[in-house]
């Protein structure tokens, strides 16, 4: 049985107050992971942050905390192999690369694992989920994008739920993550389709009271 996980996307935080903003969402008690969106301005038309920020954030959430927070790094970069060592050194726990960004996913997965990170692969909305199947046995998680990667605050694409359903049916024990536009009014189809790792940026970081949202999302994915 897979575990329900809420992973707030720090892209929606106020970067001038990143540590405090993250503490506030972690203090809800519903959050096990922080989702860290790394964008290179090439794979996606936006630049966000990289390993220096992850290094600083790791100091705010040490690994020896009573409840250590998993740093889930979503790498929207053209050369996924290039950043694995940096992300491991900075304090990342998992490394999600895009299927569309490499000619040799197996090689990337191998390198991620050699650096002691969990390996995950993401598919953009236009990529068939079947592309994941040859690699699934070696992956810790698959990320089904529910928006075009690059920006927070976009509209959830319900059509992507068919991919989630297929993955869940074929791999009952695999973590299946959804990312983009997840909120109280879109969580139901995602939970029903079988997603267990929910990334949510705008809906969690923007309201005054994140607990109200995180508990709703967590309940929805807790079967």
Annotated catalytic residues are 37, 179
Consult the annotation and say whether 115 binds a ligand.
Answer: no
- Among 8, 51, 72, 74, the residue binding Zn ion under the rule CB under 5 A is 74
Q: How many CA atoms lie within 13 A of 83 on its CB side?
A: 26
Q: How far is the CB of 180 from ligand DX5 (least distance, A)?
A: 5
181 marked as binding residue: yes
Q: What angle, 0 to 180 degrees and rounded to 10, lies between the N-to-C axes of helices 210-221 and 18-26?
A: 50
* Residues 26-45 as x/- pattern, contact with Zn ion by CB under 5 A: -----------x--------
208 burial level (CB within 10 Å; 0-12, 13-18, 19+):
exposed
Q: Which of 143, 151, 155, 90 is nearest to 117 (CA)?
A: 90
Q: Whose Cβ is closer to ligand DX5: residue 176's or residue 200's? A: 200
Beta strands in the chain (DSSP E): 5-8, 33-39, 70-76, 94-98, 118-123, 141-145, 175-179, 197-200
72 in contact with Zn ion (CB under 5 A): no
Burial of 216 (0-12, 13-18, 19+ CB in 10 A): middle
Q: What does 150 bind: ligand DX5, Zn ion, none (CB cut-off 5 to 8 Å by kind)?
A: ligand DX5
Q: Which is nearer to Zn ion, 30 or 179 (CB)?
A: 179
Write phi, then psi, for 187 (nearest 5 degrees). -70, -30
Name the residue nearer to ligand DX5 (CB basis): 84 or 147.
147
Minimal distance, residue 157 CB to ligand DX5, in Å? 11
Is the Cβ–Cβ distance between 211 and 30 less than 8 Å?
Answer: yes
Residues in touch with ligand DX5 (CB under 6 A): 9, 11-12, 35, 37, 74, 147, 149-154, 179-182, 199-203
Which residue is at the shortest CB distance from ligand DX5?
Answer: 201
Helix 51-60, helix 18-26: angle, nearest 10:
50
In this complex, which beta carbon is closest to ligand DX5, that of residue 110 or of residue 184?
A: 184
Residue 151 known to bind ligand:
yes
Asked whether the CA dihedral 194, 88, 139, 135 is positive or negative, the reply is: positive
Smallest separation (angstroms) from ligand DX5 to the CB of 181: 5
Token pair 């707030």 in the structure block, residue: 8
Minimum distance between the CB of residue 66 and Zn ion, rounded to whole angstroms? 27
Q: Is 41 annotated as a binding residue?
A: no
Q: Which residues are annotated as a binding site?
A: 9, 35, 37, 74, 150-153, 179, 181, 201-202
Residues that bind Zn ion (CB under 5 A): 37, 74, 179
């Amino acid at each position: 049985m897979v575990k329900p996980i809420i992973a707030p996307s720090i892209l929606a935080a106020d970067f001038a107050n990143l540590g405090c903003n993250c503490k506030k969402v972690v203090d809800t008690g519903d959050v096990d992971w922080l989702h860290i969106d790394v964008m290179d301005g090439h794979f996606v038309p936006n630049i966000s942050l990289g390993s220096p920020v992850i290094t600083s954030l790791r100091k705010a959430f040490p690994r020896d905390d009573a409840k250590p927070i998993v740093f889930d790094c979503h790498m929207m970069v053209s050369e996924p192999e290039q950043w694995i060592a940096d992300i491991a050194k900075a304090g990342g726990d998992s490394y999600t690369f895009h299927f569309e960004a490499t000619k040799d996913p197996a090689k990337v997965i191998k390198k991620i694992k050699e650096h002691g990170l969990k390996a995950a692969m993401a598919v953009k909305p236009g990529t068939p989920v079947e592309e994941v199947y040859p690699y699934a046995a070696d992956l810790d998680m698959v990320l089904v994008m529910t928006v075009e990667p690059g920006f927070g605050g976009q509209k959830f694409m319900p059509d992507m739920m068919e991919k989630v359903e297929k993955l869940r049916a074929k791999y009952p024990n695999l973590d299946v993550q959804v990312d983009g536009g997840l909120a109280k009014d879109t969580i139901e189809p995602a939970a029903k389709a079988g997603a267990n790792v929910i990334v949510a940026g705008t809906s969690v970081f923007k309201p005054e009271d994140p607990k109200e949202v995180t508990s709703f999302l967590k309940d929805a994915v807790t079967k």
